[in-house]
Amino acid sequence: MSDTGEFCPRCGDPVLHREEPLPGTPRDRERLLCDACYFEDFDLVDAPERIEVDVCSQCGAVHQGNRWVDIGARDYTDVAIEEVSAALGVHLDAEDVSWAVDPEQVDQNTIRMHCQFSGLVRGTYLEEEVVVPVLISRGTCRRCGRIAGGYYAGEVQVRATGRTPTAEEIDRAEEIARELVADHEADGDRDAFVTDIDETPEGPTIKLSTNSLASTVADRITREFGGTVEDHPTLVTEDEDGNEVYRVTFAVRLPKFVPGDVIDPEDGDGPVLVRSAKGNLKGVRLTSGEPYEAAYEDGATPDARKLGTREDAVETTVVTVEDDHAVQVLDPETYEAKTVARPDFFDPDAETVPALKSRTGLHLLPPVNRTKNTRR
Ligand SMILES: [Zn+2]
Ligand SMILES: [Zn+2]
């Protein structure tokens, strides 16, 4: 009955038919077996006894390969399915393989994976189910361990010249640090983090995981608010792997004056409302409405006296417009009519106008809603 004239090397039965291997393919011993012997110890699926998935109990990251990966809001079941799928092997002789994985949550840390496989082997349809338990083991990832340990390599000290930073400057500085870290995280950089923000009476000190982050944060703060940065290497320490870490302090000095301050440069041309402290201090003269810019050598901090801020101004009634250079308003304290200089930002149709009374006298300010467009 043998059409091949060959016999099974294990049981000696004649082998009825056999697909000839492609030319050049070695005839392995398994291939020579009769179907009965071949299927006797055939496994369609090769599965591990169990799979462990390490997750960080702090941030939810998953350890994959040799690194930690943020999985966002995804369920660990998805991760378990991925890990099991990657670990399962289907016999190379199987054709038309189809499979399905059905997760069963056993408890918080165990997912039992029911994996159904089917395929054709030697023309025979086979089905096989394997069950692989996936154990979620909760630990601490490197980043969370470092944050918990207070690790940092760069710090940004946000301070201001002759004053404390404003609430806006403090909030923005911290926001800049968090935004930058978020950008790095979005790019998959897990080594970028804010370790700590220490709110000192002189201003916040922001500790960051790397020197370059701290350097970028300091630059962005001064780009937004003006001022200067000095960097001071502080000390060399070791990280948990024994690598030397060179710590650098970036000392940010915000300018003495901020937009909205009213200052007197004491140059005889009257007070100035500060518009910008980036580069050279810029503003507008309250007597004329003309632009003011500090001399290059004075930079962001000209020798000037602060008279108040635009928040100190009060809405004052306009009595009459005298001429191109003078307008009469009510003194906000005494309610007497007073003649003051008429700047070109003054709107002759306005019934009230913000005015600031200071040691240099009473001055009109540009209306708040036109702050950015008062130059004509
Ligand atoms: Zn046999
Ligand atoms: Zn973590």
| Helix (H), strand (E), coil (C) string for 32-49 | HCCHHHHHHCCCCEECCC
Residue 183 zone, left/alpha/beta (φ > 0; ψ -120 to 50; rest): alpha
Break the chain down into helix, strand, coil percent, rounded to 5: 20, 40, 40
Report the separation in Å between the CA atom of 136 and the middle of ligand 2, taken as the mean of its atom positions.
Answer: 15
pLDDT tens digits, the chain, 376 residues: what are they? 445 678 888 898 888 766 655 555 555 667 788 888 989 888 999 999 999 999 998 888 999 888 898 887 667 888 888 889 889 999 988 999 999 999 999 998 999 999 999 999 998 999 999 999 999 999 999 889 988 888 899 999 999 999 999 999 999 999 999 999 999 988 888 889 999 999 999 999 999 999 999 999 999 999 999 999 999 987 777 777 777 778 999 999 999 999 999 999 888 889 999 998 888 889 999 999 999 998 877 766 778 889 999 999 999 999 998 888 899 999 988 999 999 999 999 998 889 999 999 988 999 999 876 444 444 3
Report the separation in Å between the CA atom of 237 and the middle of ligand 2, taken as the mean of its atom positions.
Answer: 23
Q: Which residues of 150-172 are buried (b: 16+ CB within 10 A; e: fewer)?
A: ebbbbbbbbbbeebebbeebbeb
Type of residue numbered 255: P
* Residues 6+ away with beta carbon under 8 Å from 336: 330
Type of residue numbered 351: E
Q: What's residue 3's pLDDT?
A: 58
Structure tokens at 226: 């003006």
Report the separation in Å between the CA atom of 26 and the middle of ligand 1, taken as the mean of its atom positions.
Answer: 19
**Which letter does DSSP use for residue 13 in this model?**
P
Q: Which ligand is nearest to the CA of 34?
A: 1
Q: What's residue 20's pLDDT?
A: 59
Closest by CA to 181, choosing from 203, 208, 205, 199, is: 208
CA pair distance 245, 262, nearest whole angstrom: 45
CA pair distance 2, 338, nearest whole angstrom: 125
Q: 78 φ, ψ to 5°?
A: -60, -40
Q: Which ligand is nearest to the CA of 62?
A: 2
Report the separation in Å between the CA atom of 38 and the middle of ligand 1, taken as the mean of its atom positions.
Answer: 7
Place of tokens 């009213």: 262
Report the separation in Å between the CA atom of 48 and the middle of ligand 1, taken as the mean of its atom positions.
Answer: 29
Q: Which ligand is nearest to the CA of 13?
A: 1
Closest by CA to 86, choosing from 60, 119, 64, 114, is: 64
Q: What's residue 219's pLDDT?
A: 96
Residue 375 zone, left/alpha/beta (φ > 0; ψ -120 to 50; rest): beta
| Angle separating helix axes 167-186 and 211-225, nearest 10 degrees | 140
Q: 82 φ, ψ to 5°?
A: -60, -45
DSSP 234-294: EEEEE-TTS-EEEEEEEEEEE-SS-TTEEEE--SSS--EEEEE-SSS-EEEETTT--EEE-
Place of tokens 């940010």: 252
SS (H, E, C) 85-148: HHHCEECCCCEEEEEEEEEEEEECCEEEEEEEEEEEECCEEEEEEEEEEEEEEEECCHHHHHHH
Kindly report the pTM of this predicted structure.
0.69
Q: Which ligand is nearest to the CA of 35?
A: 1
CA pair distance 369, 374, nearest whole angstrom: 10
Report the separation in Å between the CA atom of 58 and the middle of ligand 1, taken as the mean of its atom positions.
Answer: 57
Report the separation in Å between the CA atom of 236 and the middle of ligand 1, taken as the mean of its atom positions.
Answer: 72
β-pairing, 244-254 with 154-160? parallel
Instruction: Give pLDDT tens digits for 331-367.
Output: 988 999 999 999 999 998 889 999 999 988 999 999 8
Q: What's residue 246's pLDDT?
A: 84
Report the separation in Å between the CA atom of 166 and the middle of ligand 2, taken as the mean of its atom positions.
Answer: 34
Report the separation in Å between the CA atom of 277 and the middle of ligand 2, taken as the mean of its atom positions.
Answer: 40
DSSP 330-367: E-TTT--EEEEE--TT--TT-SEEEEEEETTEEEE---
Q: Which ligand is nearest to the CA of 60?
A: 2
Report the separation in Å between the CA atom of 58 and the middle of ligand 2, taken as the mean of its atom positions.
Answer: 5
Q: Which ligand is nearest to the CA of 18?
A: 1
CA pair distance 223, 146, nearest whole angstrom: 30
Q: What's residue 277's pLDDT?
A: 85
Q: How far is CA 34 from the centre of its chain?
A: 63
Report the separation in Å between the CA atom of 23 and the middle of ligand 1, taken as the mean of its atom positions.
Answer: 24
Q: Which ligand is nearest to the CA of 11?
A: 1
